[in-house]
Structure 1
Amino acid sequence: MKLIGSLTSPYVRKVRIVLLEKKVDVDLELENVWAADTKIALNNPLGKIPCLILDDGEAIYDSRVIAEYADTLSPVSKLIPAGSRERAAVKTWEALADGVEDAGILARLEVTLRPLEQQSPEWVNRQMSKINAALAQMSRALGENAWCHGNQMTLADIAVGCALGYMLFRFPDITWQAQYPNLDALYQKLMQRPSFAETAPPAA
């Protein structure tokens, strides 16, 4: 199998971590979807990464879909519970974490792609308010627990870890580590895992 992605995308990182935790070998093909010569649309008409190419050539896209599929490929480290209520709880954590990244990317694109005179501070503030609200909810829901859901690492923790890592990478001025020490403790614990350490985005 082949995973099309980048080293800086938090969605790609989430999938890479899942595959590493599941001990599934996949080749990583780097792709810059913003480049004029990008060929991502040949596999994903939405022009987004990650995109997983299966051995028979079929393409699977959207990080949530790929992560769920990857969890079925090996009995090692089951990351998504089988029970419907438990599964929904973990997937809700994932949606919350992905939402932080969605808002962060929208805010960043506003100030990196638009000329200054065309930028909307209201739009940026709206996205940042989503991030702040989501981080506060993550902290409340985590509380003093060791993991986001249950008594072992799940996809919830992987997704949250990737969102927190994205904040450190793209929004270092957001002081979430001081504000939410329980999230910081979780992140530091996750970074001790080879899957997280190996997929950390490159230093700017």
Structure 2
Amino acid sequence: MILRSAPASPFGRKVKIAAALLELGATLRSVDADTTDAADSLRRENPLGKIPTLVLDDGTTLYDSRVIVEYLDHLAGGHRLLPAEPAHRFRTLTLQALADGFTDAALLMVYEQRWRAEANRDARWTAHQGDKIERALGALEAAPPNGDIDIGHVALACGLGYLDLRFDGTWRATHPRLVTWLEAFAAAVPAFAATAFKPS
């Protein structure tokens, strides 16, 4: 299987860590994609031109990260990262949605800086996205996840990792319980360090 992604993508990282936890890493080959290049085959593989996209052996494509992770979990026998018991499953899916949501907000803040000329940047829009991140981190600081590692934990770790990468880890000063949680996750999941993007 081919994973179209980019080294800094937090959602591509989520898929890579999930594959490692499911012992499927060897079945996945990561191929960088350029979402801005109209000639990149990504736009044929995923009409949205977004990453991550998974290309299966028969040419079928799956996207986005949540769908890909569910497929990988299925390949691994099911209910490994996505629990079967309903209450646990929906807690996990809600945590994943919260983590993916604040990561999306962070990406939008980065894109505002990267894609708009300085004179056209909207401070209110940026603050609106920043507020989403702060509310999410506040809720997670009050009650960090516990129990066995599931896809919610993976999504949260990748989101926090993205804040470290793009926002210099400023979240750490005011969220000590999440810092401790992330340290424990990193110690338990070697794939977290292995998938970290290191800018040159």
Letter aligned with residue 190 of structure 1 = F
Is the counterpart of residue 58 in structure 1 residue 54 in structure 2? Answer: no
RMSD: 1.6
- State the alpha-carbon separation in 1 of the partners of residues 123 and 30 from structure 2: 37
Q: Secondary structure at the match of 2:75?
A: coil
Opposite residue 174 of structure 2, the aligned amino acid is Q
Alpha-carbon distance, 1:32 to partner = 1.4
Question: In structure 1, what is the equivalent of residue 50 of structure 2?
Answer: 48
TM-score w.r.t. structure 1 length?
0.91
Which residue number corresponds to residue 6 of structure 1?
6
Q: Deviations over 1:182-201 (max 9, x none)?
A: 11111112222221111011
8 Å CA contact retained: 2:2, 2:31 = yes
Amino acid in the other structure paired with 2:173: A
Q: Percent identity?
A: 36
Distance 1:183 1:158 in 2: 13
Q: What secondary structure does 1:72 align onto? A: helix
More helix as a share of residues: 2
The separation in 1 between residues aligned to 2:77 and 2:62, in whole angstroms, is 21
Cα distance in 1, alignment partners of residues 39 and 58 from structure 2? 25
Structure 1 runs not aligned, ≥5 long:
143-147
1:202 lines up with 2:198 in the alignment:
yes
- Residue among 29, 37, 41 paired with 1:39: 41
The runs of 5 or more residues in structure 2 that have no matched partner are none
Question: Deviation of residue 76 (structure 1)?
Answer: 8.9
Kindly indicate whether residue 12 of structure 2 is the aligned counterpart of residue 15 of structure 1: no
Aligned to 1:106: 108
The residue that corresponds to 2:180 in the other structure is 185
2:159 maps to 1:157: no
CA distance in 1, matches of 2:5, 2:23: 19
Range 3-12 or range 104-113, more displaced: 104-113
Q: 1:191 is matched by which residue type in structure 2?
A: A
